[in-house]
């Protein structure tokens, strides 16, 4: 029978197949893992709802699977003893594995491809292999019990890019000459640039980004930029940082930016809103300030949000941000943190740059990009030059529902809170 991909919520219509945990011929029971899929919201493991034997996988790794369509087909009569034939039927005759090559019932030369999901390695290494479009079964593992280490994959990538990979069957060749593939055998040319065109399929999170960004780019956007003096905030943060460190909390400037945004949104609630995407026929002013933070993660750009910023202290915001950053770096951000945002800040300045042109996170109506802190000379009230730490902000607002004057007034309020962080105390 067909096993359809269930609706995983959040309006997700399709997901990418990241890895299969089963292959045709495998017996499967309810709650056994079938595959891992990825949407723009999260990576999710799909488990079986039936007992039986896997008959067919309907997609290859990297394919987009549609919600409601068959993911696999399962033979419901378990234990019929047919796994081997199904296995050979489903496998292309390419790389040999030592297991299958020695199966007595198979012709001696018959080659059955090993399932990449069975290769002994970590999710991080799988991710690198996926990004580099590498078949894990082609790489020799040098870790304990043949475990595939990160450097095994990186060495493989370099060898491939340098054109020094054994041509037809890298793994077999490497098994015959394992010394050449160890981490210490870097060739002097390994850091040389490869002056060749490379065409790479756009998939995974990037493919999802293509769709969402194309749609967001249709929004008529109003841009507004300003400069913020950061001297006072830098000093306040310096004073509070030590206290937070003792409590194992990393206090960056972001929690202050988030709190200032929430306080300013109390005055301008029309900027904390959702619009109906396609035709913008309705706008919903959102009750909670669920402020998204654009995050540079190993998976790419993700925008988790901190819920109810209006009810949180700066310390609580720091703790939430720490939690989200940890999950982001581990690739574990889930739908609960990635959905429901109402307004977004993107601290691209943590990487560099002064001004930016951010793209609205639909269906929200405003995003702000923060530039790099820079110490520059500035006049004070007495026309004396003094060093001043400046940060730029670049807002983008959906001009269908937000006018420029409102955006500017909101920005002024936000700026005043940041330039005078003590004033936030009055409103906490």
Which residues make up the interface to ligand CAO (CB under 6 A)? 252-254, 293-296, 301, 321, 325, 346-351, 370, 372-373, 391
How open is the CA angle 270-271-277, to the nearest 5 degrees? 95
Calculate the CA dihedral of residues 124, 126, 130, 133 and round it to 10 degrees. 130
* CB-nearer residue toward ligand CAO: 19 or 325: 325
* Strand 64-66 versus strand 14-20 pairing type: antiparallel
As measured in angstroms, the least distance from the Cβ of 241 to ligand CAO is 8
Which residue's CB comes closest to ligand CAO? 349
* CB-nearer residue toward ligand CAO: 15 or 254: 254
* CB-nearer residue toward ligand CAO: 137 or 346: 346
Q: Is 191 a catalytic residue?
A: no
For residue 117, give the nearest of 12, 246, 19, 242 by alpha carbon. 19
Q: Is 403 a catalytic residue?
A: yes
Query: Which residue shows structure tokens 């890895």?
Result: 19
268, 303 Cβ separation under 8 angstroms: no
Catalytic-role residue among 2, 7, 99, 403: 403
As measured in angstroms, the least distance from the Cβ of 260 to ligand CAO is 14
As measured in angstroms, the least distance from the Cβ of 129 to ligand CAO is 24
Give how far Cα 402 sits from Cα of 13, 212, 222, 293, Å: 30, 21, 8, 21
Q: Which residues of 395-420 are buried (b: 16+ CB within 10 A; e: fewer)?
A: bbbbeebbeeebbeebbebbbebbee
* CB-nearer residue toward ligand CAO: 112 or 233: 233
Cα 59 to Cα 21: distance, rounded to the nearest angstrom = 13
Cα 131 to Cα 110: distance, rounded to the nearest angstrom = 30
Catalytic residue IDs: 399, 403
């Amino acid at each position: 029978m067909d096993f359809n991909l269930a609706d995983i919520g959040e309006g997700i219509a399709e997901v990418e197949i990241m890895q299969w945990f089963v292959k045709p011929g495998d017996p499967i029971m309810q709650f056994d893992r079938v595959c891992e899929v990825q949407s723009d919201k999260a990576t999710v493991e799909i488990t079986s709802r039936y007992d039986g034997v896997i008959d067919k996988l309907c997609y290859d790794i990297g394919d987009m699977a549609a919600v409601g369509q068959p993911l696999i087909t399962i033979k419901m009569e378990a234990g019929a003893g047919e796994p081997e034939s199904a296995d050979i039927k489903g496998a292309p005759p390419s790389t040999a594995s030592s297991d299958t090559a020695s199966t007595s019932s198979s012709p001696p030369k018959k080659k059955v491809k090993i399932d990449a999901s069975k290769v002994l390695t970590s999710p991080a290494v799988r991710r690198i292999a996926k990004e580099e479009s590498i078949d894990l079964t082609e790489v020799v593992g040098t870790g304990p019990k043949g475990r595939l280490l990160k450097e095994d994959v990186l060495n493989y990538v370099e060898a491939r890019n340098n054109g020094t990979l054994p041509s037809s069957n890298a793994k077999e060749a490497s098994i015959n000459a394992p010394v050449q593939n160890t981490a210490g055998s870097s060739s002097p040319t390994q850091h040389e640039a490869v002056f060749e065109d490379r065409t790479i399929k756009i998939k995974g999170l990037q493919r999802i980004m293509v769709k969402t960004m194309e749609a967001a780019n249709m929004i008529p956007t109003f841009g507004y930029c300003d400069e913020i003096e950061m001297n006072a905030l830098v000093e306040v943060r310096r004073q509070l940082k030590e206290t937070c460190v003792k409590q194992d909390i990393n206090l960056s400037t972001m929690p202050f930016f988030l709190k200032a945004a929430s306080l300013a949104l109390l005055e301008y609630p029309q900027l904390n809103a959702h619009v109906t995407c396609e035709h913008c026929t309705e706008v919903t002013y959102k009750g909670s300030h669920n402020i998204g933070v654009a995050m540079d993660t190993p998976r790419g750009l993700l925008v988790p949000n901190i819920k109810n910023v209006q009810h949180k202290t700066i310390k609580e915001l720091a703790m939430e941000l720490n939690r989200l950053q940890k999950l982001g770096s581990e690739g574990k951000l889930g739908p609960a943190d990635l959905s429901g945002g109402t307004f977004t800040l993107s601290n691209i300045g943590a990487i560099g740059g002064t001004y930016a042109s951010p793209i609205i996170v639909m269906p929200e109506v405003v995003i702000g990009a923060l530039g790099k802190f820079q110490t520059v000379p500035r006049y004070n009230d007495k026309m004396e030059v003094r060093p001043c730490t400046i940060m730029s902000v670049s807002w983008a607002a959906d001009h269908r529902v937000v006018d420029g004057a409102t955006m500017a007034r909101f920005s002024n309020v936000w700026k005043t809170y940041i330039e005078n962080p003590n004033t936030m105390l009055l409103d906490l």
